[in-house]
A and B are shown apart, each in its own frame.
Chain A
């Protein structure tokens, strides 16, 4: 028996440049109690499915073909009033961001009770009882007390639990969860996934779990539909898809996921993905501009040395010192990075790893402590005195969309550091260097005249890399360089970074929350939590023989998905 059936669905967004087809020929079904994973990368059309089912497509989008039936009832043709009776009562929905999904001005209680009464038509009192019970069911401690609170008094994970409780208010038969854990930390993510799994099983509710994360699918879904460019390319049980994918796209997608269990020299080249780029053959970096005149002082063994670095932010200013609130983002961290080494920093959000990167590169001024680069103390330097050192260290940022100034052409973006540090004697020379750099990162010189928005996320990250390389640095700080990218793109960017690192003998600090990625990239790893550096060790020994309890905890939470041949967990 199937709960929901979608047949031949097609969703189009009319625009002045012609209709954009977001989803086509989509056929899916979900059984009661079953979790169907819908996986795909950005632009695959997976969120559109959820919105289409529930009848809340963003205008001007509309479903132009196909049918949706819920327990035999056709629901795609219902009018607004009848559709409203379906929403909440028969189909619940969970959105990605728990911070914005709740009305900030009403108590959790009001939101729950109003939703329950609207959907079930019960009395105020019964509604209240059900609300408390629901909160209890989603694992909120002291539900009778916490129900009186406002959303901002809950943490992110707790809020997502409230969102789930709200989705369950109308006792729906089906829940659509759209990236329900993407905005959460790994440890919280696991709990929420467990909760959802349990609820589906206990209440015999079907679920469509929309995600980009193969790991989440592997952990949670019973069956998987892989989407690519608005179409389902492959459907099957989770085990089948992960271990024996038949479609070429699925294969490349899975091969791009960094395996947590071992270190690859390079990721396999994913040919299926269209903007896959490798740089031209025969480019010899040793003779290239980048390789020339690396006129730095003698490379000492230790390039960067950090001692007792401390960073304190004021979170609430006040004229009374006792009223001020502080956040110690980094607490007395000491570490050193050897020349030619890739040093990894891993930790959850708020652990202080990005703050360290920003102190090294001079964006933040440390509260106390010292940073020595190539033997020179850099914390107290004026901007002018620091300039020669700045040239030697560059940074690659996380968000490919905000890290490039959208008002500048690519050539100007890359040329800016060249001009600033006076590395070219003429505009023509600078242009030449820009073109070379674009070649190096695999974009080609024709990219120079374009604007950032004309590029995809992965390509933009390549531009960022080209800009970072433009000063011929010897030290590169990569702050979550791939976490905003789809896995297949991530694989390519990581490949590029690996190549550059080895060919140019770069020293790197590589920051990530993603342990498998760390394992692929780093020689040594430091683990951070709450601003403290808990443990530093060689990568292999960290993964095989973690010393600190927290490290072990992190490793436990690491998705067990490991690509071809590995066993899907549970």
Chain B
């Protein structure tokens, strides 16, 4: 294909972002724009929850049990103060979703970040150093692949419960969760980064850096890392969606965040108790919110993968 006249410009920097093919492909797909908007809206709402949410569901003093189990505002008995109704404790569903998203997103983002840092580091080292180090890291990765994230997370949770004093567990549950989800996701990053590193390290620009005399750490940081970010970005996006689902699932199974600071998964689990009793809004709205958020992130990730893969264009 040396002859194709359309020599495609390799990836561009943010400075030229708006001129790039990625931006072009982005503004051409309304669904992706929508999913980006939805995702950003969720992130913004979560970030600015205290200003966005009509109530603060974590402020126990502001909750009145007598407001509990009110239906959404458009139904009979709906209360205009509570747009999507209230849950069994009298918390505003809309606000709990927003605050729940805050927790879900915090846990997932932190877990993704943790996975990413760990995975990239191990992947870079594995790919660049090679030899026995590589073999050991990759064998560990193989072993870990046998255990899906959810299982690892549960094991870790179980271990922490066994090791730590009980009272502490509630306080650190979120960090345990982040660690558990994070530690279970590094393999993807490590494998991808290792693969890219193996390719990049044999590229001549890396050899040129070595000829200059630059050491491996700086080479990895300055030369290899920026060149492996594309696939990492894609994995991170999709991993974020998975992390959100994992968090929700763990909370649903009762090994996630404590119900006093409910995440979206906890909300669904709590609401599930009311599915048959007709108070469907307690579980359905958080369920929809979760599905929409994950769907939006997945759509975005899907598009990003295609857009960053030059072969697909």
Chain A partners chain B: yes
In contact, A467 and B208 (Cβ under 8 angstroms): yes
- When chains A and B are docked, how far (Å) is the Cα of A406 from the Cα of B24? 21
Which B residues, 1 to 26, have Cβ-Cβ distances below 8 Å to chain A? 1-7, 9-13, 24
Contact of A299 with B by CB under 8 A: no
- When chains A and B are docked, how far (Å) is the Cα of A547 from the Cα of B42? 77
Main secondary structure of the interface of B (DSSP, over half): loop
Segment at the B interface, from A80-88, A186-194, A278-286, A390-398: A390-398
Contact of A235 with B by CB under 8 A: no
Contact of A446 with B by CB under 8 A: no
Within 8 Å CB of A390, what residues of B?
A: 211-213
Segment at the B interface, from A62-70, A197-205, A358-366, A550-558: A358-366
In contact, A20 and B211 (Cβ under 8 angstroms): no
In contact, B3 and A48 (Cβ under 8 angstroms): yes
Which A residues, 31 to 77, have Cβ-Cβ distances below 8 Å to chain B? 42-48, 58
Residue in A48, A399, A407, A421 whose beta carbon sits within 8 Å of that of B213 in the complex: A421
Give a binary string over A398-417; 1 marks a CB under 8 Å from any B CB, 0 the rest. Answer: 11001111111000000011
Contact of A471 with B by CB under 8 A: yes
Q: How many A-B residue pairs have CB under 8 A?
A: 101
Contact of A296 with B by CB under 8 A: no
Within 8 Å CB of B204, what residues of A?
A: 397-399, 402-403
Contact of A451 with B by CB under 8 A: yes
- When chains A and B are docked, how far (Å) is the Cα of A397 from the Cα of B205? 9
In contact, B211 and A363 (Cβ under 8 angstroms): yes
Contact of B309 with A by CB under 8 A: no
- When chains A and B are docked, how far (Å) is the Cα of A266 from the Cα of B208? 28
In contact, B211 and A395 (Cβ under 8 angstroms): yes
Q: Which of B5, B6, B12 has the most CB of A within 10 A?
A: B5
In contact, B4 and A47 (Cβ under 8 angstroms): yes
* A416-B211 contact, Cβ under 8 Å, with A47-B1, A403-B203: no
In contact, A405 and B223 (Cβ under 8 angstroms): yes
Within 8 Å CB of A394, what residues of B?
A: 211-212
The residue on A at minimum CB distance from B5 is A22
* Distance of A351 from chain B, by nearest CB (Å): 19
The residue on B at minimum CB distance from A182 is B2
Contact of B214 with A by CB under 8 A: yes
Contact of A230 with B by CB under 8 A: yes
Contact of B207 with A by CB under 8 A: yes
- When chains A and B are docked, how far (Å) is the Cα of A42 from the Cα of B6? 11
In contact, A420 and B5 (Cβ under 8 angstroms): no
The residue on B at minimum CB distance from A40 is B3
Which A residues, 157 to 204, have Cβ-Cβ distances below 8 Å to chain B? 179
Which B residues form the contact surface with A (CB < 8 A)?
1-7, 9-13, 24, 203-205, 207-215, 223, 226-227
Pick 17 A–B contacts, CB within 8 A, sort by A.
A20-B5, A22-B6, A42-B3, A43-B7, A46-B3, A48-B5, A212-B2, A358-B207, A387-B213, A390-B212, A395-B211, A397-B207, A402-B204, A406-B227, A407-B226, A416-B209, A467-B208
Which A residues form the contact surface with B (CB < 8 A)?
13, 15-16, 20-22, 42-48, 58, 179, 212, 230, 358, 361-363, 383, 386-387, 390-391, 393-395, 397-399, 402-408, 416-417, 420-421, 451-454, 464, 467-468, 471
- Known contacts A386-B213, A397-B208; can you find 14 more A-B pairs with CB under 8 A? A20-B6, A21-B5, A22-B6, A45-B5, A230-B5, A393-B211, A394-B212, A398-B204, A405-B226, A420-B212, A421-B212, A451-B12, A453-B9, A468-B208
